[in-house]
Amino acid sequence: MVAYVRTVKTASGATAVQIVWSTRRGSRKIEHLGSAHDDGEVEALKAAARQRLAEGQTTLDLGLATAGVDGDPLEIVATKSTALWDALCAAYRVLGFDVATGGDEVFRDLVLARIIEPTSKADSLRVLAETGVAAVDYRTVTRRLPKFAKPAVRQALSAACAARAGLGATSLVLYDVSTLYFETDAGDGFREPGFSKERRLEPQITIGLLTDLS
């Protein structure tokens, strides 16, 4: 007896999946598995039919890796967030950071990994692996850190940011603000009650300090 899977159109327009059992004398037995209206459902029924045909069959143990049966969940051996990584790399290049760092891929990977998930240097390697990017080992990262901390690298990165933002000549400005409270209970228009950094509610003033390169 020979068995095979076939599909036929029904009167309603659906696709029926059947198992046909035929003999040499021409007699046939048809087992109806079900009907479907889209390709996904049809494939699911065909997979069920193939599993039905495989029931009761034994295999020789040859010690070889066997493929999964149709319908079994597929094993995921690797993943890669290609669209995400390509977009981040493109933005990195547009900002000019690749040129500023001399094309250092370790620096790039650490920066982009922390955009994906802010975490430590060591854990950034885990983020890269989950993204599907081949990362260097942690010892390589620690060896490169002194290079990244050099003033020349920092200046090159700052220049790249300024160029992208279209900044002209700039001066360094530092600004800080603080409060001073007074041992009095009433305000006078200049000293007003508030909440100082010392957690005091007495009248106080706010002072600021502005400095430049000079």
Q: How far apart are CA 113 and CA 208, in angstroms?
A: 38
| Residue at which a domain ends, from 35, 54, 73 | 54
pLDDT band at 19 (very low <50, low <70, confident <90, very high): confident
Q: Assess contact for 24 and 32: CB atoms under 8 A.
A: no
Q: What angle do CA 50, 53, 56 make, to 5 degrees?
A: 130
Domain-embedded: residue 187: yes
Mean pLDDT of 69-98: 84
Q: Which of 54, 73, 90 is the last residue of a domain?
A: 54
> What tens digit of pLDDT does each residue of 90-138 get?
999 999 999 999 999 999 999 999 999 988 888 899 999 989 998 889 9
Residues 150 and 93 reside in one and the same domain: yes
pLDDT-derived band at 204, boundaries 50, 70, 90: confident
Whether 87 maps to a domain, the answer reads yes
pLDDT digits (tens, 9 = 90+) for 168-178: 666 677 888 88
Whether residue 31 contacts residue 5, with contact meaning beta carbons closer than 8 Å, is answered with: no
Within a domain: 118: yes
> Has residue 167 got a pLDDT over 80?
no
The answer to whether residue 138 sits within a structural domain is: yes
Measured CA distances, 212 to 162, 171, 174, 179, 209 (Å):
19, 7, 6, 22, 10
Same domain? For 128 and 86 the reply is yes
- Same domain, yes or no: 139 and 185: no
Asked, for residue 34, whether it belongs to a domain, the answer is yes
Domain boundary among 54, 71, 92: 54
pTM of the model: 0.48
Q: Work out the number of other CB atoms within 10 angstroms of the CB of residue 142.
A: 11
Q: 155 and 97 share a domain?
A: yes
Question: pLDDT-based confidence at 61, cuts 50/70/90?
Answer: low
88 and 19 housed in the same domain? no
Domain span at residue 21 reads 2-54
Q: Does the residue 10 lie in any domain? A: yes
pLDDT at 114: 92
How many other CB atoms sit within 10 Å of the CB of residue 154? Answer: 12
Question: Quick one: 39 and 98 in the same domain?
Answer: no
> Could you tell me if 114 and 184 lie in one domain?
no
Q: Kindly state whether residue 64 falls inside one of the protein's structural domains.
A: no
Average pLDDT estimate for 180-194 = 78
Three-state SS at 98: helix
Q: Are 120 and 188 members of one domain?
A: no
Instruction: List, in order, residues 6 or more apart from 194 with CB less than 8 Å away.
Output: 179, 201, 203, 204
Q: What was the pLDDT predicted at 31?
A: 86
Mean pLDDT within 157-172: 81
With CA atoms as reference, report the closest residue to 47 among 84, 72, 77.
72
**Statement to judge: residues 117 and 157 lie in one domain:** yes
What is the rounded average pLDDT of the residues 41-53? Answer: 86
State whether the Cα torsion 165-167-170-174 is positive or negative. Answer: negative
Sequence-distant (6+) residues with CB within 8 A of 211 are: 173, 174, 175
Q: Is 15 domain-assigned?
A: yes
Domain count, the chain: 3
Q: Are residues 42 and 112 in the same domain?
A: no
Q: Estimate the share of the chain in helix, then strand, then coil, as percent rounded to the nearest 5.
A: 40, 20, 40
- Residue 45, SS3? helix
If DSSP codes are grouped into helix, strand and coil, which group holds residue 32? strand
| Better pLDDT: 31 or 173 | 31
Question: Same domain, yes or no, for 146 and 184?
Answer: no
Helices 105-116/121-131 angle, 10° precision: 80
| Domain match, 158 and 88 both | yes
